[in-house]
Amino acid sequence: MRIFLSYSFSALATFIHSFLAGLISNGMFLLVTEMVITGVSLIVFLVLLCFFLGYMERRVAAFMEIRLGPNRVGPQGTLQIVADTVKLLFKEGLTPDSSDKFLFNLAPFIMVVASMLVVAPIAFAKDFQLYDINIGVLYVSAVSSISVIGILMAGWSSNNKYSLLGAMRSGAQIVSYELSVGLSLISIVILSGSLSLGDIVKSQENGWWIIKGHIPIIISFVIFVIASTAEINRAPFDLAEADQELTGGFHTEYAGMKFAMFLLSEYINLFVVSAIAATLFLGGWMPFHIGGLVSFNHIMDYIPSSLWFFGKTFFVIFIIMWFRWTFPRLRVDQLLTLEWKYLLPISMVNVIFVTVMAIMGWHL
């Protein structure tokens, strides 16, 4: 048995279940308690993660622009994001008189809930997965599309022409780039023969797909990163909230914690797309192995699976942040041209090559 298999969270889950079972005899109450603990733990984890991503983004921006970044509030500026959060907590949340108040207040919740639901099938480490659904790839694609409803709802209910224009831009952008994202995911599904994220990770035990899938999978990975960046409205594809044109876009009228919820959903989406890229293309929690190098592989096996997963995920996050501080914002026509004239045709042809490669067994 490989060494990294000993780094499993199943023992911890069993211990927690046994401890709660000793306190709660009713099976239904026990199940509900475990679900509540899981949900609260997930929320706390994602909030803390967003704090870290906010700090990381400012540091990456400073690195790209050859400056220091936050360095006054807390050690090395680590408490700057906490100070910003406290500011948003105490900032008054205003609701425009002419807005549709119910939909206006509902939109941020839809954004955050949709973002958190996508986390469920992601395997953070070996035997550490909230829900290993057998259609995980389809689930991720379907649930992640719900966020556009929140954006359209926020733009329309604000009764502001800038908000509405930003929402319509976002709708066209997400619907367009979902096609390339889906075709990139299909490439991995074809090679692995499964829609389950857990099975896809296990299929990379003898090599990550980006390595053993050769050039077609490298193309799929590049397209996935570009299209996912557009789908989560990150620069240089942030036309939905272009400050110079729309003063904030679909969340122009939002302030306080409602605005913070949009920011929270953006960082959760950034983590989710990076985690999906790491899972499907970079092996997820699987270590890096080189055939024939037994000693090297054993050393890799000593690294815990969770470190492999988060290391790969933050590598993709860094690439997406690199995009933001490198490329200028695209115009609307350039945005749609990139998808419909370049990424989508390349993705369709690439899927054909992947299918041929799978039939011929060239990926083994």
Q: Let me know if residue 41 belongs to a domain.
A: no
Q: Let me know if residue 70 belongs to a domain.
A: no
Amino acid at 279: T
What is the full per-residue pLDDT of the chain (364 aa) written as tens digits? 444 444 566 777 788 878 888 888 777 888 888 888 888 999 999 999 999 999 999 999 999 999 988 888 888 888 999 999 899 888 887 888 888 889 999 999 999 999 999 999 999 988 888 888 889 899 999 998 888 899 999 999 998 888 888 888 888 888 899 999 999 999 999 999 999 999 999 888 888 999 988 899 999 999 999 999 998 988 888 887 776 676 777 888 888 888 899 989 999 999 999 999 999 999 999 898 776 778 888 888 888 889 999 999 999 999 999 998 888 888 888 989 999 999 999 999 999 999 999 988 877 6
Q: Let me know if residue 27 belongs to a domain.
A: no
Report the half-sphere exposure of 84 (CA within 13 A, side-chain side).
17
Amino acid at 57: E
Assigned token pair, 89:
């907590």
Distance CA 249, CA 157 (A): 13
Assigned token pair, 195:
């829609």
* Domain assignment of residue 311, given as a range: 92-360
Q: What pTM does this model have? A: 0.91
Distance CA 81, CA 50 (A): 9
Q: Let me know if residue 353 belongs to a domain.
A: yes
Q: Let me know if residue 7 belongs to a domain.
A: no
Distance CA 154, CA 163 (A): 8
Q: Let me know if residue 71 belongs to a domain.
A: no
Distance CA 144, CA 222 (A): 20
Q: Is the peptide bond before 236 cis (omega within 30 degrees of 0)?
A: yes
The number of distinct structural domains making up the chain is 1
Q: Let me know if residue 312 belongs to a domain.
A: yes
Using an 8 Å Cβ cutoff, are 216 and 357 in contact?
yes
Task: Output the DSSP codes for 88-124.
Answer: HHHSPPP--TTS-HHHHHHHHHHHHHHHHHTTTT-EE
Assigned token pair, 148:
């556009």
Q: What angle do CA 338, 349, 225 make, to 5 degrees?
A: 50
Share in percent of the chain as helix, strand, coil (round to 5): 70, 0, 25
